[in-house]
């Protein structure tokens, strides 16, 4: 079930998935405000971050402050972020100084990108010509040396998102994470096939809103960046 005011086109698989789902509306409803962290210098340079702990750039901090203005009139009961600087800094700025508990957890981290972390796609292509095509493929079981597969991250995100959802059924929750990890979170929330990971693209500090019930979820807005006034950057390095 998707609101008609969602502006971004979804893939055929995404639409088909929703046609096939029968939702049972329960009386308990929570809301997840899902956000990808603000921009970092590595985002701007197209460098892969993964588990490398990079803080926000000035532009990224400004994006988070703009998000705080957007959320100023919105009730939020609790917040979660990964324990990476770029997400925790984004969450704190987005909360705008409100007295709200922020849980920082490594379970919301981005994919570990192994030996590719810190590199651009051009550098990977040059230094790892045999691995480069594999990295670009939509392969659930591929990972760079020392990294995580899509299947690994999906299993991790299913558990933490289910816990957040069940622990806060009647509350509004801010969740700040990373582009790749959030793709897996959306697949879990919306009961999509795991291949749906590639159906989503999250911009820095874009706002996604999902209403959660005991046994389903309703997507209200996806990657809304209207509060950023053109400052959003769709970088590859999540």
Residue of 37, 112, 178, 221 marked catalytic:
37
**CA distances from residue 157 to 84, 92, 160, 232 in whole angstroms, order as listed:** 16, 22, 5, 25
Active site residue 110: yes
Residue of 89, 110, 117, 148 marked catalytic:
110
- State the number of CA atoms in the 13 A half-sphere of 177 facing the CB: 29
Domain boundaries, the chain: 27-223
Q: Is the pLDDT of residue 22 over 80?
A: no
63-103 confidence digits (pLDDT tens) = 999 999 999 999 999 999 999 999 999 999 999 999 999 99
What is the rounded average pLDDT for all residues in the chain? 88
Count of residues making up the chain: 238
Active site residue 104: no
| Structure confidence at residue 23 (pLDDT) | 40
Mean pLDDT, residues 181-198 taken together: 94
**CA distances from residue 125 to 79, 122, 132, 135, 237 in whole angstroms, order as listed:** 38, 5, 5, 10, 15
135-153 confidence digits (pLDDT tens) = 999 999 999 999 999 999 9
Pick the CATH number of 27-223 from 3.40.50.720, 3.30.565.10, 3.40.50.1220, 3.40.50.1240: 3.40.50.1240
Instruction: Name the percent of the chain lying above pLDDT 70.
Output: 84
């Amino acid at each position: 079930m998707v609101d008609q005011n969602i502006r971004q086109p979804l893939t055929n698989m995404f639409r088909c998935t929703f046609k096939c789902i029968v939702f049972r509306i329960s009386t308990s409803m929570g809301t997840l405000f899902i956000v990808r962290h603000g921009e970092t210098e590595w985002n701007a340079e197209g460098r892969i971050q993964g588990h490398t702990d990079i803080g926000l750039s000035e532009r990224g901090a400004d994006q988070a402050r703009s998000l705080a203005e957007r959320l100023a009139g919105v009730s939020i009961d609790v917040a979660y972020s990964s324990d990476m600087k770029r997400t925790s800094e984004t969450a704190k700025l987005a909360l705008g100084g409100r007295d709200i508990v922020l849980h920082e957890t490594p379970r919301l981290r981005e994919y570990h990108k192994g030996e590719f972390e810190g590199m651009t796609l051009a550098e990977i292509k040059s230094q790892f010509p045999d691995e480069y095509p594999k990295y670009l493929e939509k392969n659930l079981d591929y990972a760079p040396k020392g990294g995580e597969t899509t299947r690994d991250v999906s299993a991790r995100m299913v558990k933490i998102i289910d816990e957040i959802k069940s622990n806060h059924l009647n509350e509004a929750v801010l969740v700040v994470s990373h582009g790749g990890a959030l793709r897996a979170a959306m697949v879990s929330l919306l009961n999509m096939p795991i291949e749906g990971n590639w159906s989503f693209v999250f911009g820095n500090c874009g706002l996604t809103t999902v209403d959660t019930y005991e046994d389903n979820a309703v997507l209200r807005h996806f990657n809304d960046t209207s509060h950023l006034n053109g400052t959003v950057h769709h970088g590859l390095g999540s």
